[in-house]
Amino acid sequence: MSLTICPLASGSSGNAIYIGDDKNRILIDCGLSGKRIEELLQSRDLACPDLDGIILTHEHTDHIKGAGVMARRWGLPVYTRPGTWSAGGEILENIPSGQQKLLLSGLSFGRLEIDYFPLSHDAREPVGLLVRRGSRQGALITDLGESNPGLEEKIYGSDALIIEANHDPDMLATGPYPQFLQERIRSPRGHLSNDDCGFLLSRVLNSQQVQVYLAHLSQDNNDPSIARITVENILREQGVDAGVDLQVAERNCASRPSVLL
């Protein structure tokens, strides 16, 4: 059977990703209101009672906003790193203790295998995720300041990637953000630019067919068409564009899902 990966919303206004197969269904991040997440799931003919759990990548509000509501309303277990639990504040503290699960090793939900790896970002214990079902693999990296060889080895050859392309450097430099915030975004614990994303992809893609979502675009310092063109040009220049199905993850609605057979 197939592995489905679908960004439900992506950006600083809120992030959520659905992964699942015919028997098990997981929500990755929960950065919108509980009501809105329910609506986004319904738009893909998915229902909250069918979820097996929530996994949180880090404690920033645009990734955890609705986690408490969703956990309490539907009795869902929530998995995240110890540092994220301690840094999540009232939103995570209000999740019933029996539903608070530590992400200490890989998780299994039926035939879905989920592993995590550390990321460089200005959160307590941020992680990226690998999702496997049989021989198929998806990688989810939505907040990252810089890459490293270990990370790239883990995600190399993935069949689907959700990867950050946060900002265009020129738009950031000339945009409305104050200097200190620009420096934070550009830092090794900040966010990947479109160029960073393109070169990272060029190092981890192989010759197979692959679905790539450009994610977490800044509303003020990026544009979907600029992000897409920048990454496409880099992949073409690096000779790794063949077989790449590239799309920009939607900010306020569910994207076209990737179905890995």
Q: What is the pLDDT of residues 117-142, one digit of tens each?
A: 999 999 999 999 999 999 999 999 99
Burial 222-261 (b: 16+ CB within 10 A, else e): bbeebbbebbeebbeeeebbeebebebbbbeebbebbebe
Flag whether the pTM goes above 0.85: yes
> Stretch 2-10: mean pLDDT, rounded?
97
Which domains does the chain possess? 3-252 (3.60.15.10)
For residue 189, what pLDDT is reported? 98
Neighbours of 151 (CB within 10 A): 20
For residue 130, what pLDDT is reported? 98
Helix (H, G, I), strand (E, B) or coil at 224: helix
